[in-house]
Amino acid sequence: MAKMLCLLPWLLFMVMQAARSESADRIETSEGPLRITPIRHASLMLEFKGRVIHIDPWSQGDYRGLPKADLIMITDIHPDHLDLGKIMELSKPGTRIVAPPAVVSSLADATAISNGESKVVEGITIESVPMYNLRRGPSPGKLYHEKGRGNGYVLTLGNRRIYISGDTECIPEMKTLKGIDVAFVCMNLPYTMPPEEAAECVKSFRPKIVYPYHYGNSDLTVFTSALKGETGIEVRLRNWEPR
């Protein structure tokens, strides 16, 4: 009996891990499957070729049963993206962290990557693309996200290109993205953009699959309705904002 009681936490962990694995989306690539696990808000986990990638890990997400990171990617300095406690919790010996220069001052061991740069980390090609506000901000003359401070990312995983928008409005750099297979596109006011604006941006660069994420209280039916009938664009709704 005592032995069984000792095994219970391990068994519970394995059950939870299996359940989370079953709930992950699977996308086939030329180098094996890509598994996508939504977590919360802007946080997600990618699994590819035995590597675990955590993006914007946040303490308000449910990480029970999820593995630690081989690679952690941070988009911005705001606390729903840069959570030092959760980053430490998900790190292990050898974990690599990629972040914009504005974040690296808080993470001494992180690899800095600026807008427009491309680097290979853990065998994965990472392109840093801008994310910023064009007009929305906390006061006249100020923006929530200045150009150059934060990063969106395009990852090449096998023959698939994965776009992670970070916090942004419908900027020219998003509209002109090419060859995106999977896109994670933010929407929430007042910090980024409304769903109708996000949908118009998606129509411009036409990813094969788009996940609305970081959507707060946005009405996702507006987003899906705006993209209804757009051939070649699949909208996938997942529970990024559990209540």
Give residue-wise pLDDT tens across range 133-170. 999 999 999 999 999 999 999 999 999 999 999 999 99
How many structural domains is the chain composed of?
Answer: 1
State residue 129 phi and psi, 5-degree precision.
Answer: -120, 155
On whether residue 75 sits in a domain, the answer given is yes
**Distance in angstroms (rounded) separating the CA atoms of residues 39 and 55:** 10
Q: Which pTM was predicted?
A: 0.90
CATH number, residue 177: 3.60.15.10
DSSP H or E stretch at residue 143: none
Rg (CA), the chain: 18
On whether residue 180 sits in a domain, the answer given is yes
Q: Residue 109: its pLDDT value, please?
A: 86
Distances (CA, A) of 10 to 5, 90, 101: 10, 18, 39
Domain membership of residue 127 as a residue range: 25-235
On whether residue 207 sits in a domain, the answer given is yes
On whether residue 2 sits in a domain, the answer given is no
Are 14 and 25 contacting, i.e. CB atoms less than 8 angstroms apart?
Answer: no
On whether residue 81 sits in a domain, the answer given is yes
On whether residue 101 sits in a domain, the answer given is yes
User: Can you list the alpha helix ranges (DSSP code H) found in 155-227?
Assistant: 172-175, 195-205, 220-227
End-to-end CA distance of the chain: 38
Q: Residue 227: its pLDDT value, please?
A: 97
On whether residue 4 sits in a domain, the answer given is no
On whether residue 10 sits in a domain, the answer given is no
Please, what's the b/e burial string for 57-89 (b: 16 or more CB within 10 A of its CB; e: otherwise)? Answer: bbeebebeebeebbbbbbbbbeebbbbeebbee
Q: Residue 19: its pLDDT value, please?
A: 46
> Which parts of the chain sit beneath pLDDT 50?
8-21
